[in-house]
Structure 1
Amino acid sequence: MILGNLSGLSEFRLLGFSGNSHLHPLFFVILLSLYILTLVANTAIAFTINTDSTLRTPMYFFLTQLSCLDICYLSVMIPTILENLMVGTVSISKTRCAMQMFSFLFFGVAECFLLAAMSLDRYFAVCHPLHYTIIMSSRVCRSLVAGSYICGAAVGLIHTLITFSSPLCGSAIDHFFCEIQPLLDLLCGNTFPRELQVILVAVFAILSPFLLIIYSYIHIISTILHMASAESRQKAFSTCSSHLLVVTLFYGTAGSTYLRPKSTYCAAVDKFLSLSYSVLTPLLNPIIYSLRNKEVKRGLQNLCRSLFCTGKWQWEPCTVLSPKGSDFTVIQ
């Protein structure tokens, strides 16, 4: 909706699910259920890793960070989407919209770089096992996580400041929340410089960590194929395939959204892609890791047995499964 230069605009209207109002209750129940399930699954993964001493390794440290990022990432937009489904068109202040856009980009870009850090961890674990503990020290792991958050903050700040300092010629956002692509439609005049900015930043935030992941996995797969033991190859493939599947889901949907010009945008397609990488991926991450990782499944089983025996949210002596999964031992 073109209204002329709205320099004094104080709020936007999120159209979201403007059509099919009779399906809004169904969409609300589905999204709310997925949201609760995602929160429970990611919280369970993070809690299990932090309370199980056998899971205190770099890989599980990164997995905890991924679970926390997914919780924050999802919580940025789901409440707004649910509100949109309940009341229809939602009014959102310019300040809140800017904060939502920054938070979404911050957590999303941080996850991109965190997935790259996880690929480096798998690279050193498989290709340089003798030096793994020295290279992937706790200091290095914390630095990689901090770097991911710094990159996320930088990208979010750049996009948010430039977008909201530009003249706007509309107030209706055809989306569920304040994402950068729909906001480009509201900018006055020639939007090509802003489109170019989005693509260039996306190359840095999405394509560069993805290329690092590809590089790591080329060496990982080459190393695995040269392993003499079939059991070692199977274990290495099992560990790495979970991460590779998560990477494919996240980068595939995010890349198809941000690495293309505005002229190819389609509101319906963009909404579907946004739901894919902002709702489905955070839900699938813990499922993929817990179902394909024996250590995580064992930790979850031990946590449930400990809670059942003690009735408290803490670890106390209780009969739980040992790491071998066949005998029963007492774990403090």
Structure 2
Amino acid sequence: MKLLIVSNAPLIYRDAKAFAYSPYIKELAVWEKYADISFCCPIWESDRGLLITEIPFKVNHHYQLLDTNLNSLKQIIKSFIYNFYNLFVLFKAMKNADHIHLRCPGNIGLLGCLVQIFFPNKNKTAKYAGNWDPNSKQPLSYRLQKWILNNVFLTRNMQVLVYGNWENQSKNIKSFFTATYSEKEKEIVLKSDLSVVEFIFVGSLVVGKNSLYAIKMIQKLAENGRNVVLNLYGDGIERHNLEFYIKENQLEKCAFLKGNQNQEVIKKAYQKSHFVILPSKSEGWPKAIAEGMFWECVPVATKVSCVPFMLDFGNRGILIDMNLENDIIQIEKMLNEENVFASKSKLAANWSQTYTTEFFENEIKKLL
């Protein structure tokens, strides 16, 4: 089977070897077991700071798309011209494919949504990696992609993989997930008592992830007399601001910036942490929350995208509303009742450990 991947995610070539965004490649390695993959995407000459990994399978063919952005009037005019070229390339690529797989949302995803309309008889899937919540505020291009994918007249023979269960969706829509750990990695985790409470944040240090708010929560708990530690794993443009805030508020003994680390380091960090925290403004499937829950961390997260479903509306975690006083009250209440913490910790692990890489692979196989 010839599987075409249509995506904003670029390919990067080094010494005739193909590289791409690391988490993306881990997933595509599963798809490749059941199909011959071709790519229709931009090609970059350098990684531009992107976390990349060599593609572990042969890239049989790629159709190069031109990068577009809307940062200036000149770029807008350029994008208008480029998109005509991209539409032509997409049409050619889809014509030669047996199965079309769109990666949305994104500029390329929107073009892919439009071109796939002309191939109603081909088998198709789309992964919508953003927030599918119909009531969420999103850019017009994102809302347009969601409308096309949800429309069974325009989009036929399509299974659209979304995060969460939402009301009033078409037959195209299928609730899906992402997995990191395998069945064989499951093990009993022995957490220390709550005399020293360890929190973990895993993600890019950018404004949207609200890593500063996570530090402020730890600061407030420390001021309340709690012995707390927050380890932040990841990097980004907010790092300097976070370092300044930690130093300015004398938080060097409870907030630590660990930078980007490999999966094994992160795994061990989850295992010794009590809470995984992600006060993000927007998410698709928050991988850090699912991974932390796998290792019995109680999740502390905002009510965005499918997070309420993941936390069973608070039964296996803490849903925060970005009001520092109210959010701290919720955490303090759990810290005062260790049996409640233990119960939610187990519920979190039981739920997350359902979504293993083996289960994920079996579901991909069904789709193809």
- Asked if these proteins are the same fold (TM beyond 0.5), I'd say no
TM-score, normalised via structure 2 length: 0.23
- Going by fraction, where is helix more abundant, 1 or 2? 1
Q: Which has the higher contact order (CA 8 A, sep 6+)?
A: 1
TM-score, normalised via structure 1 length: 0.24
- Going by fraction, where is strand more abundant, 1 or 2? 2
